[in-house]
């Protein structure tokens, strides 16, 4: 759909994304670069690095669904743009575009799960995933003034539990309501 609307193929659109956001994405796993991080799988009670030759391979036509990597600094910079956009600071995209991406549809909108925090009207959006060797979780709440990024280079039941514990701990420690922050 994006290719048709923009008149560019996916690789060209990725180049535009990299240029606009001043980031560098890698098609594939991070260890396809010389100093990239290796994903790990647990075998016989030990985590073992997965080599390039053994990693999960995406078909190229499915790459937009989850076959991109970027370093933590670039990911943080990218998410900061989303956070700022959701807080009314237009940057690469308009404020309305960020809101549509994160909250345009109820529960899931353009790649982001969303909802209310508990029984409040405060909103959050969440994106995460894994294909078995890496695991990620990104949570953003403009009202709580927090964006959390968790990256783990393995995935199994224990790392999923760790990711949930970290997300909860960071959310409680750093997620403040805008009204509460003004009192400080």
pLDDT higher at 42 or 128: 128
Q: How distant is the alpha carbon of residue 79 from its chain centre?
A: 7
Cα–Cα distance for residue pair 17/24, rounded to 1 Å: 9
Please state which of the ranges 59-63, 122-126, 135-139 shows the lowest mean pLDDT: 59-63
Residue 138: phi, psi to the nearest 5? Answer: -130, 125
Q: pLDDT digits over 22-60, tens only? A: 999 888 777 776 677 777 777 778 877 777 666 666 666
- What is the model's pLDDT at position 126? 93
Q: Sketch out the chain's domains with CATH numbers.
A: 28-182 (3.40.710.10)
For range 150-167, the mean pLDDT: 86
CA proximity to 150, closest of 133, 138, 134, 162: 138
- What is the model's pLDDT at position 73? 93
- What is the model's pLDDT at position 47? 79
Q: Is the pLDDT of residue 184 over 70?
A: no
- What is the model's pLDDT at position 121? 82
Cα–Cα distance for residue pair 60/135, rounded to 1 Å: 21
Q: pLDDT digits over 58-115, tens only? A: 666 777 777 788 889 999 999 999 999 999 998 999 999 999 999 999 999 998 999 9
**Other beta carbons less than 10 A from residue 182's beta carbon:** 8
pTM exceeds 0.85 for this model: no
- What is the model's pLDDT at position 29? 78
CA 157 to each of CA 43, 127, 143: distance values in angstroms, whole numbers, following the listed order? 13, 18, 31
pLDDT higher at 13 or 43: 13
């Amino acid at each position: 759909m994006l290719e048709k609307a923009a008149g560019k193929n996916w690789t060209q659109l990725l180049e535009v994304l990299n240029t606009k956001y001043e980031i560098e994405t890698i098609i594939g796993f991070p260890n396809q670069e010389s100093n990239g991080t290796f994903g790990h799988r647990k075998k016989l009670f030990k985590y073992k690095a997965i080599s390039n030759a053994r990693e999960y391979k995406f078909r190229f036509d499915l790459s937009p669904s989850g076959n991109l990597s970027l370093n933590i600094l670039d990911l943080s910079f990218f998410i900061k743009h989303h956070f700022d956009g959701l807080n009314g600071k237009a940057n690469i995209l308009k404020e309305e575009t960020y809101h549509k991406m994160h909250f345009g549809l109820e529960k899931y909108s353009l790649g982001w799960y969303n909802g209310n925090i508990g029984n409040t009207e405060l909103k959050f959006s969440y994106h995460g995933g894994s294909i078995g060797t890496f695991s990620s979780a990104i949570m953003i709440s403009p009202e709580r003034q927090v964006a959390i990024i968790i990256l783990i280079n393995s995935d199994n039941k224990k790392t999923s539990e760790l990711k949930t514990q970290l997300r909860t701990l960071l959310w409680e420690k750093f997620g403040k309501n805008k009204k509460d922050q003004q009192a400080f």
